[in-house]
Amino acid sequence: MSATERTYNFSAGPAVLPLPVLKKAQEELLCLPGAGASVMEISHRSKQFEPIISGAETNIRKVLNIPDNYTVLFLQGGALLQFAMIPMNILVGTGKKADYIITGSWTKKAHSEAKLVGDVNVIYDGKDHGYRRKPSAAEAKINADAAYAYICLNETIEGVQYQTVPDTGDVPLVADASSEIFSRPIDVSRFGILYACAQKNAGPAGVTVVIIRNDLLERSGEKVPSLLNYKKLAENKSMLNTPPTFAVYMVKLVTDWLLNDIGGLDKMYAINKEKAALLYEVIDNSNGFYKGHADKEFRSLMNVPFRLPSEELDKKFQDEAKTVGLATLGGHRSVGGLRASIYNAMPRDGVVALRDFMLDFAKKSG
Amino acid sequence: MSATERTYNFSAGPAVLPLPVLKKAQEELLCLPGAGASVMEISHRSKQFEPIISGAETNIRKVLNIPDNYTVLFLQGGALLQFAMIPMNILVGTGKKADYIITGSWTKKAHSEAKLVGDVNVIYDGKDHGYRRKPSAAEAKINADAAYAYICLNETIEGVQYQTVPDTGDVPLVADASSEIFSRPIDVSRFGILYACAQKNAGPAGVTVVIIRNDLLERSGEKVPSLLNYKKLAENKSMLNTPPTFAVYMVKLVTDWLLNDIGGLDKMYAINKEKAALLYEVIDNSNGFYKGHADKEFRSLMNVPFRLPSEELDKKFQDEAKTVGLATLGGHRSVGGLRASIYNAMPRDGVVALRDFMLDFAKKSG
């Protein structure tokens, strides 16, 4: 392989981007047409940037069919900053507690950050079964007076995904959708806050999309610093200061691609289901050579963590895969094993190539 | 002009980037050599990204000659988030107050954010003279028991710059260097914290460079959320979560350019002084047709705000300039008038073109 040949990149994030998006960004990098400068060089308040950020918002509203009583924000700091901003804004001052449902690494981390800020309950923790599934409504009972209930729709590290959105009644549901946003149709009206850092399915690292029901904006206290204050951010359309303009531009291009090249979320979902099935089928038919992490009914369409019979084989698999252009298949450093992240932008051909490699490798080593 | 022709872009930020940097980024956009993917698509913990973030740090340490007892962080949220993070980390819990020296729009804003977080004093406010200069030591007396003293080295909107770093004795000096970092040599050992959002002289919007003296890291309280906690960020080398990888990559390229193409800060400073002099000379010799904002001895090398005899002429100047490829010369929306930002990456030819246009315009209209 030459130094500039692209591989199939199964990174969990920052992750593969659609090639047409990268090509468009490359073409416009020195000069955004009509702007006389790169998109990186122009004011966020310029007439050239305004249609980019408002276009990204329009695209997101269209893709997710977002009701009018929701605000879309483009923020910085990734999911980790949301872990703190959520309780700073919608817990502190309510006199209530928030309910956390821990289903893997990212909800665990979200809870530990929220604890620094306010009063939080853990109403479910799946550690006893190694975070292989999501709880039933009976296992994770929401307190009727909770300020909000917190979940992660798809645990990126464990590859465990909610197949249906839990019903939290009148308690606002707050969900981290970082590694699954735009991968399937979802009913936004079921959420108080739905948010995602971009670097899996929405764009590059450096921007986080936060979709918030407008009534929750009223909970932001006056003492919350401006850039952490949902209400002030909403009033200023994410422009209290300079937003991460290039990252927002990339989100605009990615959502353009999703709408125009793919044709929306129903189509994207069908493609994603088929891609994931290619890998899970190999795992299920391998007579235990490949072991998936998640229980079958909670398997993620986006992240497929699996193990081989030994750590040596895990390593051999990863090394050999790399030599044939299948890259970044290592599991998260906290859990080891292997993981194939097959986000929207991973082409079917890449998944087929991995499937074929898995079949060959099992035959050779099994 | 064609839609893809670059203009001379005098934007105050996001601002002009060095053309060789943009070309390099364009060349590598689809595939970072050896990575098999775009720099936007690879893990922040990959062996391809590690030399980028550590290389950016090494470059910054070299360019600014940073002493070993300082940590360099790459954060998100721009200066506005630093306005809050500074008091959250190094004021709260000290039982002290912080001293703010208000010399323009950005220190005013920094103070109003800090007030939300902790106890702050205004020890000087230049509003009576319209923020045209910096105070003397006698005018801005630092309290010996202050937690820190806060300044902005260069007020971007007013174009007013400290020519020498104020002496604050044992009180840590915290300085916003957003619109002047890398424009001139500076003695970092004089500061407790020196920080800059990137989108003027260091890269694109979306990353902020924070240089902090290590003893101050010990002030960060345990309750400060992780992504807002200098100590935790330092312990994790800015990698508590995914940093804004593309923006960090651009900072690496910009500092490569500064070191290799320009030859360091002494050379950059000489170039910047000469560029600024070209414009100030026209202003001074215009018999009052052009009026600069700042008092002469506090004039900024980076931002040159000025006015013509009427708002109509301001507008005419801006409109005509645009037709000859001199773009984004409007003053900040809060103050009006005109402003030429002539950051490191603005080529001398651009400043000469503006100088010539100013001379012609004055002759024609004056």
* Residue A355 belongs to domain with CATH number: 3.90.1150.10
Top residue of B16, B23, B29, B41 to mutate, by most chain A CBs within 10 Å, is B41
For residue B304, which of B343, B269, B270 has the smallest C-alpha distance? B343
Residues of the domain holding B307: 264-365
Q: Using DSSP, state whether B213 is helix, strand or coil.
A: strand
- Which one of B229, B261, B293 terminates a domain? B261
User: Is the CB of A153 inside 8 Å of chain B's CB atoms?
Assistant: no
A252 in any annotated domain: yes
Residue A131 shares a structural domain with residue A209: yes
Q: Which pLDDT score, from 0 to 100, does residue A1 have?
A: 64
pTM equals 0.98
Tell whether B67 and B157 lie within a shared domain: yes
Q: Are residues A77 and A199 in the same domain?
A: yes
Q: Which residues of B touch A227 (CB under 8 A)?
A: 77-78, 80-81, 84
Given A220, A243, A261, which residue is the final one in a domain? A261
Residue with the two structure tokens 């981007």: A17
Q: Within a domain: residue A39?
A: yes
Determine the distance in angstroms separating the CA of A314 from the nearest CA of chain B, rounded to an integer.
Answer: 18
Look up tokens 């289901």; give the residue.
A273
Q: Is the pLDDT of residue A319 over 90?
A: yes
Res A336: pLDDT? 85
Q: Which of A29, A30, A80 has its CB closest to that of B226?
A: A80
What's the confidence (pLDDT) of residue A335? Answer: 81
Q: For A250-290, write each residue's pLDDT tens digit.
A: 999 999 999 999 999 999 999 999 999 999 999 999 999 99
Q: Does residue A9 belong to any structural domain of this protein?
A: no
- Are both B275 and B130 inside the same structural domain? no
CB pairs under 8 A between A and B: 231
A91 lies within 8 A of chain B by CB: no
Taking only the tens place, the pLDDT of each residue in A187-217 is 999 999 999 999 999 999 999 999 999 999 9
> What are the tokens at A226?
């401006």
Structural domain includes residue A4: no
Residues A284 and A220 in one domain: no
Residues of B in contact with A86 (CB under 8 A): none
Whether B91 maps to a domain, the answer reads yes
- On whether residue A84 sits in a domain, the answer given is yes
Kindly name the residue from B176, B231, B257, B314 that is annotated as catalytic. Answer: B176
Is B176 catalytic? The answer is yes
- Do B154 and B49 fall within a single domain? yes
The span from the CA of A304 to the CA of A25, in Å, is: 29
Helix (H, G, I), strand (E, B) or coil at A313: helix
Q: Are A130 and A34 contained in the same domain?
A: yes
Catalytic status, residue B215: no
Which residues of chain A neighbour B5 with C-beta distances below 8 Å? 31, 36
Burial A337-358 (b: 16+ CB within 10 A, else e): bbbbbbbbbbeeebbebbbebb
Indicate if the pLDDT at residue A23 is higher than 80: yes
B206: nearest CA partner in chain A: A244
pLDDT band, very low/low/confident/very high, at A333 (cuts 50, 70, 90): confident
**Taking CB atoms and an 8 Å limit, are A6 and B242 in contact across chains?**
no
Together in a domain, A236 and A313: no
In 3D, which of A172, A248, A242 has the Cα closest to residue A209? A248
* Residue B334 touches partner A, C-beta closer than 8 Å: no
Is residue B133 located within the same domain as residue B280?
Answer: no
Q: In whole numbers, what is the pLDDT of chain A averaged over residues?
A: 97
Last residue of a domain, one of A261, A277, A302: A261
CATH number at residue B185: 3.40.640.10
B60 and B179 together in one domain: yes
List strands edge to edge, sheet with B193-197: B70-75, B208-213, B193-197, B173-176, B149-152, B98-102, B120-125
CA atoms within 13 A on the CB side of A167: 3
pLDDT (mean) for A82-92: 98
Are residues B25 and A22, on separate chains, in Cβ contact within 8 Å? Answer: no
Instruction: Determine the residue type at B103.
Output: T
DSSP per residue over A48-95, as a string? Answer: TTHHHHHHHHHHHHHHHT--TTEEEEEESSHHHHHHHHHHHHHTTTSS
Contact A242 B78 (CB under 8 A): yes
Confirm if B229 and B89 have CB atoms less than 8 A apart: yes
Same domain, B222 and B284: no
Known catalytic residue at A106: yes
In the numeric block, the tokens 């004056």 are attached to: B366
B40 touching chain A per CB within 8 A: yes
Which residue of chain B is at minimal alpha-carbon distance from A6? B36
Other C-beta atoms lying within 10 Å of the C-beta of residue B5:
9
Kindly state the average pLDDT of the residues A223-238.
98
- Count the domains in chain A: 2
Q: Which two tokens stand for residue A251?
A: 């989100």
Q: To the nearest whole angstrom, how far is the Cα of B195 from the nearest Cα of chain A?
A: 16
Q: Is A18 on the interface with B (CB under 8 A)?
A: no
Catalytic residue among A108, A134, A200, A252: A200
- In a structure prediction context, what are the per-residue pLDDT tens digits for chain B, which is 366 residues long? 688 899 999 999 999 999 999 999 999 999 999 999 999 999 999 999 999 999 999 999 999 999 999 999 999 999 999 999 999 999 999 999 999 999 999 999 999 999 999 999 999 999 999 999 999 999 999 999 999 999 999 999 999 999 999 999 999 999 999 999 999 999 999 999 999 999 999 999 999 999 999 999 999 999 999 999 999 999 999 999 999 999 999 999 999 999 999 999 999 999 999 999 999 999 999 999 999 999 999 999 999 999 999 999 999 999 999 999 999 999 988 888 999 999 999 999 999 999 999 999 999 997
Angle at B138 between CA B132 and CA B142, to 5 degrees: 100
Q: Is residue A11 part of a domain?
A: no
Supply the pLDDT for residue B8. 97
Q: Are residues B252 and B280 in the same domain?
A: no
Q: How many C-beta atoms surround the C-beta of residue B263 within 10 A? A: 12
